[in-house]
Each structure stands twice: as C-alpha cells, then as structure tokens.
Amino acid sequence: MTPEDLVEIEAIKRVKYRYTRCLDQKLWDEIGECFTADAVAAYSGGAYSFEGRDAIVDFLRRSMGAETFHSSHRMHQPEIDLISPTTARGIWALEDTVIETQWQITIRGAAFYNDEYVKDNGQWRISRTGYRRSFEELQPRAEVTGLRLTASWWATDGRSELPAG
C-alpha cells in the first residue's frame, strides 16, 4: 500500500458514507450518483435483490421513503482492497436501527457488506453491493411502557423536546 493508494481508498470510503447519509436523509436523487448504471444489489443475504441503479434506487425510495420511517445506518471497519487502478473490493460492518412511528415498530440489526467499486471518469462508484445479517430483531413499540420519541428529522425539524441538562 502506498500513500497514493490511501487517497483512492479514502475516495471509496467517501462514496459509501455519502450513500449512507443519503439513505437516512432520504436524498433519493443524490443517492443514485453513488452507483454505476449497471450496479447490482443483494441486501439481507439476497432477500432483496435488484439489477441496475434505477431498480436499486426505486427499492430504497419505496421501502424507506415515508417520513414516519426513521433510520440510522452506520458503516464501520472498512477493509478496502484495490484490485486495479479502476476496481476495488470492500468489506464493511453495518449496524442499523429503524423506528417506524406509523407501524409502531423498532427494527435493529447488524450485518457485513461485501462491495465492489469501479472508477470511471475520475469518480469511484458502487458496482456491486450486498450484506448478510449477523442478526436482526423486531420489537413492537406500543407495548413498551413510557417509550417516547423526543426528536425527529421530519416531525420536530431535528430538535429534541428534552430540556437541556
């Protein structure tokens, strides 16, 4: 590995971070720029699989578009290997939480991603992505005594209703 390789690896991390931020902020137009046109995705051990950028973005928008769907996807522990000047592979550790206030459920999970990246016109993009779950669990919220949402990107403009300490 050389310092110049590190610059490429940082650029690849940035694409993944941008993708994840767009997901949780519901920036569906911008998220498309993170994928190659012919990208393929196999989320959740292949349970949700799609071919082509448009099909992937359409799935993300459909499944996570509602403003009652509050998500936090966090990417950890990047193991990125450059294969050639324009191709790379990466492993990532995911943790994600979803709070759906309409259906009153919480979903929590952990997974490992295996990605492939392609550099074209000076820009790295995701050409293949997919994760396999370590675990995932679902919990109904209505039964949890006293549980209360105190901030929401959409419902409270990102401000907490809690008083400062």
First to last CA, the chain: 47
140-159 footprint of a second copy as x/- string (CB under 8 A): x--xxxxxxxxxxx--xxxx
Give whichever of 66 and 87 is closer to a second copy, judged by the CB atom.
66
> Per CB under 8 A, does 89 bind a second copy?
no
> Per CB under 8 A, does 121 bind a second copy?
no
Give whichever of 83 and 149 is closer to a second copy, judged by the CB atom.
149
> Per CB under 8 A, does 68 bind a second copy?
no
Smallest CA-to-CA distance from 131 within 76, 93, 88, 99 is with: 93
Sites for a second copy among residues 10-49 (CB under 8 A): 10-11, 14, 16-18, 20-21, 24-25, 44-48
Distance CA 78, CA 90 (A): 7
Smallest CA-to-CA distance from 58 within 35, 75, 74 is with: 35
Give whichever of 32 and 109 is closer to a second copy, judged by the CB atom.
109
> Per CB under 8 A, does 102 bind a second copy?
no
Amino acid at 165: G
Amino acid at 23: L
- Pair of tokens at residue 37: 């046109």
Distance CA 142, CA 51 (A): 37
Give whichever of 26 and 87 is closer to a second copy, judged by the CB atom.
26
